[in-house]
Amino acid sequence: MRITARFIKSLAYVVSLISCLGIATQVAAATDAEIAEGKKLAFNKKLGNCLACHQIEGGNMPGNVGPPLVAMKARFPDFEKLKAQITDPTKLNPNTIMPPFGPHNILSSGQIDKIAKFVHTL
């Protein structure tokens, strides 16, 4: 009986792990259209306006207040952490000058998701 219970418990852990990996793959996967839309939003002066503070490849007249957005997959291997940083950077750094795009309703969650997918490709 103990062996069976251990086996079932181990199997449940394996199934949970596999399902989590599947979800992570789905979350991180971005279509070319989503990436292109994210770039448009990031470069739009009335929405993301990321170029006001960051250097981004392909952007005109970038700012230098924030760090250059390069090697983002290496800097944020966890896509959800990058998305959280864009949504509300004040959670990790209360003194940041980057606006909390989500809590202040500057961008919708869908727009933030697309921008994060674009930025993650840089």
**What's the pLDDT at 105?**
94
CB 112 within 8 A of CB 102: yes
Lowest-pLDDT choice from 35-39, 56-60, 87-91: 56-60
What are the residue ranges spanned by the domains of the chain?
Answer: 1-30, 31-120
CA distance 98 to 65: 9
CATH architecture of the domain covering 31-120: Orthogonal Bundle (1.10)
Q: What is the mean pLDDT of the chain?
A: 83
Sorted by sequence, the CB contacts under 8 Å of residue 64 that are 6+ apart come out as 53, 55
**pTM confidence score:** 0.74
CA distance 62 to 122: 15
The burial class, CB within 10 Å (0-12 / 13-18 / 19+), for 34 is middle
Where are the alpha helices (H) located in the chain, listed in sequence order? 2-28, 32-43, 72-75, 79-87, 109-120
Q: φ and ψ at 26, to 5 degrees? A: -65, -40
Query: Which residue in this structure is represented by tokens 């839309």?
Result: 37
Read off the pLDDT of residues 80-114 as tens digits, 9 standing for 90 and up.
999 999 999 999 999 999 999 999 999 999 999 99
